């Protein structure tokens, strides 16, 4: 989460030398670091192992710093991993992590704006999007669903990760504070209601399939192309 990305640099016993970062921050040439990736990446891998197909091309939308991309590409060598981001500085950071990792199954990052009607990728066997829905205008989520409907074959997964507001489920105090913080930075940002998200996905041709509760009051949501 963005608030946690400002916290002390620690996690998983790894020494961190790069600057903590959240979208919209940092110099264009920085190799960025989002500390939350060190805490959530293995929990995400465990769910991906259940939800992903056996093999194929994975498109990661809004790859951010690139730390998730290289970790997941290492965890799933049977996948060709395609990272992407709309931010040129993010693309620089992703490329730096990719070069450092020297993994054969991770492609050069591509510039991709989820809200755009045309994407630089024409197909994928799965799509993953982490921590974008709440740190972007709603149009980006609608574009994500439309793009997933264009690229995915019937039954293929779109997987979301992040904090949400759920009907009939009390929202954690930390998530409410995070929501206030996001909206103070940009009124178009903020935690989304899962009911609204599911309805928008259904309108685009994506059926909700499963919800997994994750550490630190996050969720993973699985949709499949109908």
Listed by start position, the domains of the chain span: 4-225
- Work out the average pLDDT over 56-68: 97
The pTM of the full predicted model, rounded to 2 decimals, is 0.88
Cβ proximity of 134 and 186 under 8 Å: no
- Work out the average pLDDT over 53-71: 97
Residue 115 has pLDDT above 80, yes or no: yes
Q: What is the pLDDT of residue 96?
A: 94
Residue 18 has pLDDT above 70, yes or no: no
Q: What is the pLDDT of residue 28?
A: 55
Structure tokens at 36: 């939350």
> What mean pLDDT is reported for the chain?
89
Q: How confident is the model at residue 29 (pLDDT cuts 50, 70, 90)?
A: low
Residue 4 has pLDDT above 70, yes or no: no
CA dist 11 → 66, 68, 99, 194, 204 (Å): 17, 14, 22, 29, 38
- Work out the average pLDDT over 53-69: 97
- Work out the average pLDDT over 133-138: 97
CA 203 to chain centre: 21
CATH 3.40.50.300 given to domain 4-225? no
DSSP 155: T
* Least confident window among 8-22, 63-77, 137-151, 178-192: 8-22
Q: How confident is the model at residue 35 (pLDDT cuts 50, 70, 90)?
A: confident
Q: What is the pLDDT of residue 205?
A: 98
Residue 163 has pLDDT above 60, yes or no: yes
Residue 23 has pLDDT above 90, yes or no: no
Q: How confident is the model at residue 176 (pLDDT cuts 50, 70, 90)?
A: very high
- Work out the average pLDDT over 148-161: 98
Q: What is the pLDDT of residue 3?
A: 31
Q: Decide the pairing of beta strands 110-111 and 79-85.
A: parallel
Torsion of CA 45, 193, 143, 79, to 10 degrees: 10
Structure tokens at 124: 């994928």
Q: What is the pLDDT of residue 2?
A: 33
């Amino acid at each position: 989460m963005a608030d946690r990305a400002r916290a002390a640099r620690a996690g998983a016993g790894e020494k961190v030398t790069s600057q903590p970062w959240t979208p919209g921050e940092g110099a264009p040439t920085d190799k960025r670091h989002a500390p939350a990736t060190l805490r959530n990446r293995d929990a995400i891998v465990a769910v991906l192992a259940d939800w992903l197909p056996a093999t194929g091309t994975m498109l990661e939308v809004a790859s951010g710093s690139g730390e998730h991309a290289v970790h997941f590409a290492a965890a799933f060598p049977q996948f060709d991993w395609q990272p992407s981001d709309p931010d040129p500085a993010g693309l620089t950071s992703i490329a730096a992590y990719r070069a450092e990792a020297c993994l054969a199954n991770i492609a050069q990052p591509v510039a991709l704006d989820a809200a755009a009607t045309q994407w630089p990728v024409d197909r994928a066997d799965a799509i993953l999007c982490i921590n974008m829905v709440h740190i972007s205008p709603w149009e980006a989520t609608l574009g994500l669903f439309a793009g997933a409907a264009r690229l995915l074959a019937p039954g293929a997964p779109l997987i979301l990760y992040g904090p949400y507001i759920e009907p009939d489920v009390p929202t954690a105090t930390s998530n409410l504070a995070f929501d206030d913080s996001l909206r103070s930075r940009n009124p178009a940002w903020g935690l989304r209601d899962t009911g609204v998200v599911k309805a928008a996905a259904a309108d685009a041709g994506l059926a909700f399939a499963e919800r997994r509760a994750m550490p630190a009051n996050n969720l993973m949501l699985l949709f499949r192309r109908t």
